[in-house]
Structure 1
Amino acid sequence: MNNKTIDIIDVLSLRGPNIWTYRPVIEAWVDIGDLEDSPSNTIPGFYERLTAWLPSLVEHHCGVGVHGGFLMRLREGTWPGHIMEHVMIELQNLAGMQSGFGKARETSKRGVYKVVVRARHEEVSRAALVAARDLVMAAIEDRPYDVQGAVNNLRDILESVALGPSTGCIVDAATDRRIPSMRLNDGNLVQLGHGAKQRRIWTAETDQTSAIAETISSDKELTKTLLQSCGVPVPEGRIVNSVADAWDAAESIGLPVVIKPLDGNHGRGVSTNLRTLPDIEAAFLLAEQESSDVIVERFVLGNEHRLLIIGGKLVAAARGEEASVVADGISNISELINSQLNSDPRRGSSEDCPLNLILIDEADDPRVVLLELARQGYTTESIPPAGEKILVQRNGNVAFDVTDQVHPSVAAAASLAARIVGLDIAGVDLVAQDISRPLEEQGGAIVEVNAGPGLLMHLKPADGPARPVGRAIVDHLFAENESGRIPIVGVTGSHDTTAVSRLIAWLLHLQGTYVGLACKDGLFLRQRHVLKKSSDNWDASRQVLMNRMVETAVFENSSKTILSEGLAYDWCQVGVVTNIDPADKLPEFYIEDADQMSRVVRTQIDVVLPTGVAVLNAADPRVVELAPLCDGSVIFFAASASTAAIVTHLEQGQRAVFLRDGHIVLASDKEEILIGNAVQDKSALNIETVLAAIAAAWALGVSPDLMRVGIESFEPTDAVIAA
């Protein structure tokens, strides 16, 4: 019986560095059944169908390394697992989630392959995997397939799970500086850095954004009062409680005026250039729907501007422009808006569009547009005379970059306004005719100071260059020499990894460091046993990295954890490999021998920082072979100083830890430090366990005296269980 189908047996989400790459991937185990006997060049019409559906596959170099390389493999003959890999990559690319990395490898079981593809968002990649399988099968069986429908579905999933553009640009900037990031919820709350060195962002708000400052900024009258008291130019005005009161205020201030809600945002409920009682009545009712309190202010002549202040410095500025249409004498205003304004590719409803659509349907709450048209004597159904210009919207189009035009005194006023309110990141709104001149010369004024300002207008301006606002926020949070990293120690190997991890954490604890430890014995914080069950998994390690108190982290990583989840961190300061047992294998992961296991264990050494240290067992040949793969330095350990790897290592001026006459020796070139006969009473500990832990502690600067005390006082079964 023929079984020419592709079954997805299992899917692993490797969310950190893994045996394939440093980045998160989806690893799918697929069974191609009898298709193992049907490479692509034996299936009539397969090549033509697949390339017609996905012509952009020509961009895939594949292992050939040239443009069109994958198509060459396709014509020569390759198997469905490999084809699925490339189709999955291309579907993700077409959906807007760039993914260039992929692998397809046979397992020891005939017809079963591991298909591995970069996964920036697991939900999208899982859906892309299924879509890739279905598409390949449709091409094999000569059935129709809705490629665009599949891409649209992936795009919808991506939009629902991806970070917003403002948060995304900050995370990207942190990545460029090699600052690690962790998403803390399904929204835009992100941790930059680890443990005690972390900072948090939520879109354009940070953990330095004061709640008091945010409250002040949401109260426009209080903000204006504070700014005015410090000499910042603001428009005169006051709170009003009725239409009659609004008219009295307008007459007192002097027409024209602006009416807006006291605690509104994003321009909702704001009406400008009001000159008549009917206009003021309509504007008051509009603002009242946004807030219980309404403000009447002097109308400041000029364009709206948004100045982005980060850490007291002007980083970007954008100007607003009125939106208007020109009548053709045939179309009504609704049709003119759609044909002349909403047809602009820069306008849209998604976060990626710098300009918003102008909504005129009643269901879309077009109150501001309708009010503006009514003031000119029109409705959306009116057909004005040909050539007449009709103002549709006065604000909401602040997306034209003017950063390089801002006068220094204007930048200083905006910076002062942010400091007065108390915001570390602020969107300062001001009105001026010419942003390149001082405000005082033209009667300009600052009208609002906003917390959590949107960044899209500066990232994708309707006109002008994009500004590196994400980098400015990251540089504000982290000094130039800061990476947000704490020292991380990763321990892996076949045996004794739990004991090594516990002893390393104990030695670091004695140094006065707040240590977080995740190992098979549980989760420990400062030697308190806070989680009793096995913590040999991703979640426990992430708990350590999220803890603001943790100054150093120690993680035990079994081979199974590396294969099923990946590492919970991107880089480490110290990577320890205790040993690789020749009998080791994990057949449930298709790891059949010690050589394959070595490639698994290598993952821990691949992530050692260039400034870090690999601690390796010099008595284990397979472990010794990992030394050249480390980007940092290496400390070998072994029970005997005559171990070949140690002798050679010391001759090269490197460091080693070994035992001589019962004494632990720290050796570097020709210098030696004796720890003393510290292991004689620790028969429960394997000597190599002690040596590995001592080497890791040495790499992290623990003093020899503390090492001695630590070994003498360590009790591996002693744990205080938290209540």
Structure 2
Amino acid sequence: MTTTPTVQAAAPAAALLRLDPQWQALPGRAYGSRQPVLRGGLVVAPLPRGLDVAALDAGLAAATALPGPLPLPPHTPAALALAQRLLFWSCALQRQALLPVHGNASAWLPGPPAEASAPQRVEAALPCATPRAAAATLAWVAGALQAALAGAAPRPESLERLREQLQADRAGGINTHRFLAAAAQLDLPVTPVAGNVHRFGDGRHACWLDSSFTERTPAIGTRLAQDKVQTAQVLRQRGLPAPVHALAADADAALRVARRLGWPVVVKPADTDQGRGVAAGLCDEESLRAAFAAARAHSARVLVEKHFDGSDHRMTVFQGELLKTTVRRPGGVEGDGVQNVAQLVALAQRGAELQRRSRERGRGELLALDEEALGLLAQAGLTPQSVPAPGRYVALRRRANVSAGGSIALVPPEAVHPDNRRLAVEVAAALQLDLAGIDLLIPDISTSWLESGAVVCDVNSQPQIGSSTSPHVYAELLRRLVPRGGRIPVLLALGAPALAGALAAALPPLPRAGVLGCASALGVHVGGVPVAGRLDSAFDAGQAVLAHRGVDAAVLALPWGPLQRTGLPMDRCDVLLLTPPPPALPEGAVREALRLVLPHARGVVVLPQAMRGLLPAGFGTGSAPRLLFESDTAACIARAARCLEETCHD
């Protein structure tokens, strides 16, 4: 069921910049945004002469640690300039909090600019991941701009409260955020499905992703990969290098296993990922018991494993191909011969890279002189006051995961021995995983594992792809998973529900045995067959037909009136058919509907000659969209059908 909630986004009552008390959340796309928007208005009081917008941007950039926007075009009215800054910083702060907000916001004057001494109203549409997060950010930026106009800086504690609030609305994990950003870069349509699952593309060209789980990732392989005991069993059956380990019911049993395998050993949960609860290089009973207790906090099943001395590599495999290899080093500090360990840790904590990782993962300090770090220092004969020699690396973490403060570096493809490349591919194939992260311990990645020995210590069916070393991989995966840019030809018709049937009747059979999906308030039809029950609105019907995997092209008929409550079910249409709006609909509402829809028309716009005067001045004068005028509605329907057919042939 389609709903259009309103959200509070009010600034202080005495502000020079006053937001409407309530902004409307549209569930569909609108005003050129590729995602849902928060729609509302603001009133800007008369501003000081010579308002320095660049100075406002500089102040907010300093407060938020974000780059400022590009300069505004000359002669932008002051009220519009301030509104555009409000929207820019609202989007930027949401993106900084890893909320998937992509594309540009829109701001416009509903009428001619007011006199300098009079308040000016500005209308706006803000892309949003969730209405709550967008409204909270909008209100904070309004307050920050108000403070800046009064010569004050934003209060850091208020920004921290906002960031904490935004954490609750983050997309599920770093992978999801990066895939959504890559989709925006590639201009792929994206629609939330349920939970953390998103649909990339429409109709027959769609693909579902849940973080780095693809719709082709097998459930059986995933289940096996999530259990380290079963994973090792599968690898041994294929003659691949699996670790030697055993389950331990308690700390005493763990000690017996360690003595049987021989020190040093590794203790870890049998069914967790991201290195949680893992302790490597254990050499005595005391550290083993502590590690067992830590692992038991994560899982009832704890493994004791023979330690293998080698460098920790993550090898990412997709559909039988090694995409990349990285080498990981446990979190720690490098000596400079001057500063002691405690000073080096404090310096690292202030570094941009660790702060970025902490912010992305919603955690505190990833590197600290905690119990684990102090124990490793003691093993190395050091204390927090020790001054390591220049270049000496002091490990403060037992595991090399980035989530634990570890560092990561890309290995050039030519440095990976062909046998090791084949090993990673074979491991993924053994578990029948289409996308997998293979954690390989090996002394030298450039030497064959058949000569040096190696151990596959873990297989991840939902691997972190990693944006710091190879951000391009997200886009590369989407190109391979989502055919033809995820697009199907779409004809959007504004008018009566019967338009969908009339357009379908006017269309000849689609090329290449394509299947036409039609949606309107009357229902959803695919290939002329009803495939859904009566939905609440034409908007819901449009969403349903675009989600159908059997559809090669779509015709969506939406009424004029509800557009301002729902927006559009898609972010782009190849053909836009405009038919005369109902006589009872005020001209202002018609013009607002056109303002909402026209930025989404990318091919042609077909309309009766009599409607020419409703189009905004200058619209259609560029290369796209093309305007095609016909004498009446019947001729428009025939012309729009021919245009869709041509698009399908293309």
2:31 paired with 1:40:
no
Q: Secondary structure at the match of 2:568?
A: coil
* Separation in 1, partners of 2:500, 2:25: 26
Say yes or no: does 1:485 pair with 2:487.
yes
CA RMSD of aligned residues (A): 4.4
Match of 2:10 in 1: none
Distance 2:35 2:578 in 1: 21
In structure 1, list runs of 5 or more residues that go unmatched. 640-687, 703-723
Offset at residue 181 of structure 1 (A): 0.8
Matches within 5 A, 1:604-683: 606-610=599-603, 614-617=605-608, 621-622=612-613, 631=624, 638=631
Match of 1:30 in 2: 42
**CA separation of 1:354/1:423 partners in 2, compared to 1, >3 Å: closer, same or farther?**
farther
Q: AA paired with 2:537?
A: S
Distance 1:621 1:53, change over 3 A: closer
CA contact (8 A) 2:266 2:306 kept: yes
Rounded Cα–Cα distance in structure 1 between residues aligned with 2:264 and 2:142:
65
Structure-2 residue corresponding to 1:714? none
Conserved? CA contact 1:430–1:448, under 8 Å: yes
Which of 187, 191, 206 is the matching residue for 1:182?
191
**Contact in 2 for aligned 1:310/1:476 (Cα 8 Å):** no
Q: Once the 2 structures are TM-superposed, how far is the Cα of residue 532 of structure 1 from its aligned partner? A: 4.0
How many Å separate the matches in 2 of 1:4 and 1:344?
A: 37
Give the corresponding residue for 2:354. Answer: 347
**Shift, 1:228, TM fit:** 2.0
Larger radius of gyration: 1
Aligned 1:362-373 pairs, distance under 5 A: 368-369=372-373, 372=376
Distance of 1:578 and 1:445 partners within structure 2? 67
Give the distance between the partners of 1:248 and 1:41, measured in 2 at CA. Answer: 80
For residue 474 of structure 2, give the secondary structure of its aligned residue in structure 1.
helix
Name the CA distance, whole Å, in 1 between partners of 2:577 and 2:343: 68
The count of corresponding residues between Structure 1 and Structure 2 is 602
Preserved contact between residue 43 and residue 122 of structure 2 (Cα < 8 Å): no
2:440 aligned partner: 430
TM-score when scaled to structure 2?
0.77
Task: Give the superposition deviation at 1:402.
Answer: 1.8
Counterpart in the other structure of 1:93: 92
Structure 1 residues 25 and 294: CA distance shift in structure 2, 3 A: closer
Change in CA separation of 1:521 and 1:445 when aligned onto 2, cut-off 3 Å: same
Matched, 1:573 2:580: no
Q: Does 1:318 align with 2:326?
A: yes
2:478 equivalent to 1:474:
yes
Which runs of structure 2 are paired with 1:516-555 in the superposition (5 Å)?
516-521=517-522, 527-528=529-530, 530=532, 532=534, 535-537=537-539, 539-555=540-556
Counterpart pick for 2:453 among 443, 448, 451: 443
Give the Cα separation in 2 of the matches to 1:20 and 1:273. Answer: 56
Specify the code of the residue in structure 2 equivalent to 1:543: A
Offset, 1:474: 0.9
Cα distance change on mapping 1:263 and 1:701 into 2, 3 Å: same
CA distance in 1, matches of 2:164, 2:246: 45
Deviations 1:229-249 (A, max 9, x none): 222222333334455554454
Paired position in structure 2 for 1:195: 203
The answer to whether structure 1 residue 11 and structure 2 residue 13 are counterparts is no
Contact 1:213–1:423 under 8 Å retained in 2: yes
Change (3 A) 1:197 1:337: same
Mapped contact 1:88–1:129 kept (Cα < 8 A): yes
Report if the CA contact (8 A) 1:193-1:484 is conserved. yes
For 2:531 and 2:245, locate their aligned partners in 1 and report how far apart those are by CA, in whole Å. 60
Quote the Cα distance in structure 2 between the aligned partners of 1:350 and 1:432.
32
Separation in 2 of the partners of 1:281 and 1:132? 51
1:201 positional shift: 0.8
Contact 1:95 1:154 in 2 (8 A): no
1:540 offset after TM fit, Å? 4.3
Change in Cα spacing, 1:618 to 1:211, as seen in structure 2 (3 Å) is same
Give 5+ residue unaligned stretches, structure 2: 1-13, 97-101, 401-405
Taking structure 1 as reference, are residues 567 and 357 closer, same or farther at Cα in structure 2, changes over 3 Å only? same
Measured in 2, the distance between the counterparts of 1:560 and 1:600 equals 8
* Cα distance in 1 between the residues matched to 2:292 and 2:428: 28
Contact 1:325 1:391 in 2 (8 A): yes
